[in-house]
Structure 1
Amino acid sequence: MLKNIDYLNDLYSNMWWKTSAKLNINMKKISYLEKKKREKTLEVFIDKIIKHIGEFPKDVEERKVWRNTGNKYVDKMIEVEDTFRLGTLDKKMKEQFFKSTKIFINTCREFDENIEYKDIGQAMRNVWIVNIFQKIIGRDIEFSKAIFGYSMLYPYTDNYLDDTKVTLKSKNDFNKRFSKRLSGENIEAKDSYEEKVYKLVECIEEVFNRVDYPKVYEGLLLIQQGQEKSLYEQESVSMPYERDMLNISIEKGGASVLVDGYLVCGELTKEEEIFAYGYGFLLQLCDDLQDVNSDLEKNHMTIISQLAGKYNLDKIINKLINIIIDIVDNATCFKGENIKELKELIKNNCITMVLFAIVDSKEYFSKEYIKVISSYLPFTLSYIDGIEIKFKKKFKALKPSYHGVKVEDILMYLFEVE
């Protein structure tokens, strides 16, 4: 197993406890008028996209022109968009980023024609993390079969292990067989579902052989160990300090992005490993905050769900925001051009993700805290509260299909690569 994992776990455990619980956010506050302006810009963009979908042509050749027009809408939105700072991406990075996304979507549909779009979206997030890491270490953004295989393991394994209808015994049996497959054993799949999971491992093996790139597979096994530990979260409600939930989050999240790094170049420097592990840890805590309601419903324990409803989450989320800033600002592995801009992009996106998650679970925070963080949000609180219902209502105006093509497939067509 990876030799430096204990060092990385201790590093980020100590960092967590030493990080201040006082909010030290360094983003600029957004005025009410600016929020309303952004809301209007987003509304116009969504309306334009919905109108464009409704104009999906019957003629196959005309569809290419239709797709190019749609891509121009997206490009224009990115230029003026300021919520996630995507406008700071240089043209080359933007083009490579979208090409990687399009190829991934196509590959997903080729791999499993019945895959649900939410699963593609879940896996796509990891593809984007890999792409960001490629840029961090000064490489061009590109897609590979190994990136596909690893990213798709998320929906295929996480969703199975999170399924409350599946017994713990079945989950443990799956984990035992999957661990053997990750170790290189020739395991026969129990069913068609496991067969797909093992094929995804093959995608990684085709790019990185086990002899020359052992860390790739050591990292995958470390993640699997984290999955097995996380099953403890599902067994029963636990009290703080009864189980080491912090270390579970550090190792589960850290190992995840560590493998992303290995899938970029097979080996990482010490500085790259330190940042990858920390980046994974903070993303895991962001996930835990986003999932706090569903975790409580399912009795899944994390350092956040353990406290939610018992104490206000104000201070623990202050620590999360502060540790995001600390990890990104002090990273020494960034290479290439526009390092400052790339750090700001990563940092601001993570913090914005946290802010939206706070609003989505505001019942676990003090009213004073919500008032403080609202000044950093890109939209007004009332707009964010109703945004999901508003957009669902807009998309309901569309027909289920146009010229025999489902709306979901039309959206995917926008991202297809010729």
Structure 2
Amino acid sequence: MDNLDTNTYFEFKTYEEFRKERLKLNYDNTLKLWYSLPDTLPISDNNRVRRQTRKEQRALFRLWNDTLNIPESNDKFIYDVYQIVGRITADFYTKAKQYDATISYEELFKACRCVWSMVAFQIEFHSPSILTDSMLGYNMLYPYTDDLVDCNDINQEAKVDFAKIFHDRLLIGEPTYDPQVHFDGKQSNVTELNLPSSLQTQDNRIVKIFDMVKFIENDWKRGGEYESVYMGLTTIHEAQMKSTLQHARTEDGYAPTMTQIEQISAEKGGASLIAAGFILEGRLTRGKMAYLEYIGFGLQLIDDLQDLKEDMKNNRRTIFTQALAEGRTLDAPTARLIQYYYCAPEYEKFINDQHTVSDGETDVTSAEYVRVLMMMFSVLLILEAASRLRRYYSKEFYRELSSLSPLRFHHLRLAHIEKTIWRIVQKQWFG
């Protein structure tokens, strides 16, 4: 992708054109790379790869940058990032609870993980570091829709009907849509919904889902230059519905192939982050789209590795559970996922990537720093998930994998890194 193409806005007149070009961009920046990578752990000729000694793993006090092997930065920048994350997380928690007092701790935690990614992208793209209505709406959408789409108590007819209704709600909007109306954040009345009989029992869920779209419409008006926002949202919805094909069925012997699983994973993971990017900026260049596709696939696979035992119980096929179903260990897909992250274009520059946060010798910009931090933090999450799945790895691979960790595996498996961060932010910012 040359510079001219990279800096061109990804915009099309029709959703069909958008979808076609997006799928091509997705493949070029996810599976094309994935298939090219070796299924062995990276060697140390990559400056981000570092084997840890037992002494280093036992050290109680290590600098942040040394622990994660990331560039040094000035203390003010680290403090500012922490303040931004804490403030936006607190705002999100407060506003989510104001809208829906019944939302669970687990649902909020799940939503907040995506909020943190969006905060990172705000820093990378030099967007304002604030919680917008559209950020709130987008990150609350998927706890609600996941509950509906993945629920075993909802029959297939209802899911098909919901897919059609929600597709139109995202892409086209309500027939009564008025760009001058601002959604005030109070739950809409379920009696205003015009649902088919198959969805009548789900009206309390669906009204919340539609309200989240109203939050998004507060920031990005329909019918103008921001139609790509709604094309992006439609893309993640389609990918989410397509992911139902990952469920193997005992009743008729259906099971997806590895090729299908890889394709669905890449499309769904990439779609979730390009939608997030559009929520942040309204319009995206092809370069930013490519970057978000790449990151999204990686995050999807981390989720799948973290959820391996639950997915096995529910007969849901991911790249990892499919490997086990085929009688293989998790060695190869885990190694390839780590290779995928170490191939990250961490120094790919966007037009406004100029703000230096390091010492004068390295000149690392804020965007570069956050990209490297995301890459190394993602590798740490892979290692944490793998540390709990010892029985699914060969003994030799597990031992080699553990040498990449800044902590001994028997400590790392107890860390619960993301939930620990969530608890720290929760305690300090909103009690």
- CA contact 1:93–1:141 (8 Å) conserved in 2: no
Label 1:127 to 1:84 Cα distance change in 2 as closer, same or farther (>3 A).
farther
Give 1:250 shift.
Answer: 1.0
Whole-angstrom CA distance in 2 between matches of 1:349 and 1:32: 20
Label 1:22 to 1:92 Cα distance change in 2 as closer, same or farther (>3 A).
same
Q: Tell me whether 1:264 sits opposite 2:292 in the alignment.
A: no
Greater alpha carbon shift after TM alignment, 142-151 vs 227-236: 227-236
Give 1:238 shift.
Answer: 5.3
Give secondary structure in 1 for the equivalent of 2:324.
coil
Whole-angstrom CA distance in 1 between matches of 2:71 and 2:209: 33
- CA contact 2:124–2:368 (8 Å) conserved in 1: no
Match of 2:214 in 1: 202
Greater alpha carbon shift after TM alignment, 368-377 vs 176-185: 176-185
More helix by share: 1
State how many pairs are aligned: 362
Greater alpha carbon shift after TM alignment, 186-195 vs 140-149: 186-195
Q: CA RMSD in A?
A: 2.9
Q: Tell me whether 1:293 sits opposite 2:309 in the alignment.
A: yes
Unmatched segments (≥5 aa) in structure 2: 1-14, 176-192, 356-364
Greater alpha carbon shift after TM alignment, 153-162 vs 267-276: 153-162
Label 1:116 to 1:244 Cα distance change in 2 as closer, same or farther (>3 A).
same
Match of 1:30 in 2: 52
Give 1:132 shift.
Answer: 0.8
Cα deviation, 1:95-114, whole Å, max 9, x if unaligned, reads: 22221111111111101111
Match of 2:400 in 1: 372
- Which AA in structure 1 matches 2:174? E
- Which AA in structure 1 matches 2:212? L
Give 1:230 shift.
Answer: 0.8
Q: Percent identity, aligned pairs only? A: 26
Whole-angstrom CA distance in 1 between matches of 2:254 and 2:85: 41
- Which AA in structure 1 matches 2:165? R
Give secondary structure in 1 for the equivalent of 2:136.
helix
Cα deviation, 1:65-124, whole Å, max 9, x if unaligned, reads: xxxxxxxxxxxx997994597995533332222211111111111011111111111001
Residue 110 of structure 2: which of 122, 126, 131 is its match?
A: 122
Q: Tell me whether 1:185 sits opposite 2:174 in the alignment.
A: yes
Match of 1:5 in 2: 22
- CA contact 2:31–2:262 (8 Å) conserved in 1: yes
Residue 347 of structure 1: which of 366, 371, 375 is its match?
A: 375
Q: Tell me whether 1:225 sits opposite 2:243 in the alignment.
A: no
Give secondary structure in 2 for the equivalent of 1:231.
helix
- CA contact 2:341–2:375 (8 Å) conserved in 1: yes
Cα deviation, 1:175-224, whole Å, max 9, x if unaligned, reads: 22222221313463641221111101100011101222111110111111
- CA contact 1:27–1:348 (8 Å) conserved in 2: no
Label 1:4 to 1:185 Cα distance change in 2 as closer, same or farther (>3 A).
same
Whole-angstrom CA distance in 2 between matches of 1:206 and 1:232: 34
Give 1:328 shift.
Answer: 3.2
- CA contact 2:304–2:318 (8 Å) conserved in 1: yes
Greater alpha carbon shift after TM alignment, 340-349 vs 97-106: 340-349
- CA contact 2:239–2:267 (8 Å) conserved in 1: yes
What's the TM-score, normalizing by structure 2? 0.76
Whole-angstrom CA distance in 1 between matches of 2:386 and 2:340: 16
Label 1:137 to 1:316 Cα distance change in 2 as closer, same or farther (>3 A).
same
Residue 125 of structure 2: which of 125, 137, 155 is its match?
A: 137
- CA contact 1:216–1:266 (8 Å) conserved in 2: yes
Whole-angstrom CA distance in 2 between matches of 1:385 and 1:203: 38
Label 1:83 to 1:159 Cα distance change in 2 as closer, same or farther (>3 A).
farther
Whole-angstrom CA distance in 2 between matches of 1:362 and 1:325: 23
Cα deviation, 1:276-299, whole Å, max 9, x if unaligned, reads: 111111111111111121111111
Whole-angstrom CA distance in 2 between matches of 1:178 and 1:238: 27
Greater alpha carbon shift after TM alignment, 118-127 vs 309-318: 309-318
- Which AA in structure 2 matches 1:219? G
Label 1:242 to 1:311 Cα distance change in 2 as closer, same or farther (>3 A).
closer
- CA contact 1:275–1:327 (8 Å) conserved in 2: no
Q: Tell me whether 1:415 sits opposite 2:421 in the alignment.
A: no
Matches within 5 A, 1:33-48: 33-38=55-60
Match of 2:90 in 1: 102
Residue 171 of structure 1: which of 153, 159, 162 is its match?
A: 159
Whole-angstrom CA distance in 2 between matches of 1:293 and 1:368: 22
- CA contact 2:70–2:373 (8 Å) conserved in 1: yes
Give 1:414 shift.
Answer: 3.5
- CA contact 1:84–1:352 (8 Å) conserved in 2: no
